[in-house]
Amino acid sequence: MMLFVWSCQNNRHPAEKSVRKESIAKLKPKIAYSIMVDSLLVDTAIVKKNEFLSDILLRYNVSYATIDKLAKGTRQIFDVRKIRRGNKYVVMQTNDSLKKPLYFVYEINRVDYVVYHLTDSVYATLGKKQLVTKEEAAHRMILTSLWNAMVAAGVDPNLSNDLSEVYAWTIDFFGLQKKDYFKVIYDEAYIEGKPAYIDKIKAAMFHHEGEDLYAFYFKQNGQGDYFDEEGNSLERTFLKAPLKYSRISSRFSNSRYHPILKIRRPHHGVDYAAPEGTPVHSVGDGVIIKKGYQKRGGGNYLKIKHNSTYTTSYMHMRGFAKGMTVGKHVKQGQLIGYVGHTGLATGPHLDFRYFKNGTAVNPLKVKSPPARPVEKQYRPAFDSVVRHYTAILDTIK
């Protein structure tokens, strides 16, 4: 008696294995928005200006009756009147000569979407794309600008905007110097496996003017904020500068030669040169106490009282933002006007002035008090956060 053993393993040619693996991959159904789309025609587009749901669906031969039923019957799921220009939508049809529309998908935002089922019983369902957040790190020396440094580091350059907001009260980003550098740890959101946006900066160290400036994100009383390593808030009462400027064309002085009047007189402000129309923002919360045209040379100007100690003035503006009136409360960073050259001015710039207890002080030397620090009961948790992220930042060379 003879015994034959037949092995089904390791007897297939490598090329055959590859073909089989590829065939299995092709058999995997293609899913989009939880819908199997292999056998469907899929059209993707962006909502245009002044385009409504009816404009879109009528192009795909969806009847007015169905559109009306969809709009009224699914309002509790999503109100179609909230469809916005620039958002993505997808229409799925049968892949035949009839091209019958089966689904309309509208992306509410980067993660959430609504699917309208256009079959006999019209209804809608909400869905979410797969979202995964990963902690990432980046570092770079600045040679030209923070934006270019982010690009050179191979990260989303929008991270530069987030980082500048974290340090808005402590660093003048138009005064960065060569060989300043940063280290930053942040969360990046991935949607369906692809990087989508910067979620949050967790910690950072910015080396500026020979000083290491730390920032740590921490929540207390349900409110998140950025603090230095000592637990002091990085948020200050005032922004570092009221606009994005090209350069400082004139500084605070008790005896400046006036380019138009040809005389020497005090210039108790800082002139920020910037293109005509550049937005001007309030450096802090406050109330507008003066608005008008200063015949003595200041042109269009606003004066904002921030508290019992500080007042700021904004001069030579081309015009004011809508709604700027005496007595109006404004918020820090709120648009108040636009750079111009009204009054006695040789070119477009903003003459920005600080007053402390009624006396003009140099805006570039004002050190505004920090906001509320980490409270005592949260210090152990905060110190733990600082130790954790400082150790990581120290490993980044």
pLDDT score recorded for residue 113: 96
Residue 384 domain flag? no
Q: Which domain CATH number covers 310?
A: 2.70.70.10
Range of the domain at 168: 132-227
pLDDT score recorded for residue 240: 82
CA 281-143-199 angle, 5° bins: 55
| Last residue in a domain, options 84, 106, 128 | 128
Q: Is 364 helix (H, G, I), strand (E, B) or coil?
A: helix
Q: Which pTM does this prediction carry?
A: 0.63
CB atoms closer than 10 angstroms to residue 111: 15
Residue 100 domain flag? yes
Distances (CA, A) of 323 to 139, 194, 335, 338: 42, 42, 10, 14
Q: Are residues 119 and 170 in the same domain?
A: no
Cα gap 229→212, rounded to integer Å: 11
Q: Are residues 254 and 358 in the same domain?
A: yes
Q: Which domain CATH number covers 151?
A: 3.10.450.350
State mean pLDDT over 259-281. Answer: 77
pLDDT, tens only, 56-81: 999 999 999 899 998 999 999 999 99
Distances (CA, A) of 190 to 106, 128, 139, 204, 300: 20, 13, 21, 21, 47
Residue 234 domain flag? no
Q: Are residues 297 and 361 in the same domain?
A: yes
pLDDT, tens only, 194-216: 888 899 999 999 999 889 999 99
pLDDT score recorded for residue 397: 80
Residue 112 domain flag? yes
Cα gap 208→149, rounded to integer Å: 14
Q: Are residues 223 and 274 in the same domain?
A: no
| Last residue in a domain, options 90, 110, 128 | 128
Residue 393 domain flag? no
Token pair belonging to 304: 């904002």
Q: Are residues 82 and 165 in the same domain?
A: no
- Reply yes or no on whether the pLDDT at 48 is more than 70: yes
pLDDT score recorded for residue 350: 93
38-42, 310-314, 369-373, range with the lowest pLDDT: 369-373
What is the tally of structural domains in the chain?
3
Q: Are residues 303 and 256 in the same domain?
A: yes
Q: Which residues, including other chains, have CB under 8 Å from residue 217's CB and lie 6 or more apart?
A: 200, 201, 202, 203, 224, 225, 226
pLDDT score recorded for residue 7: 40
- Reply yes or no on whether the pLDDT at 88 is more than 90: yes
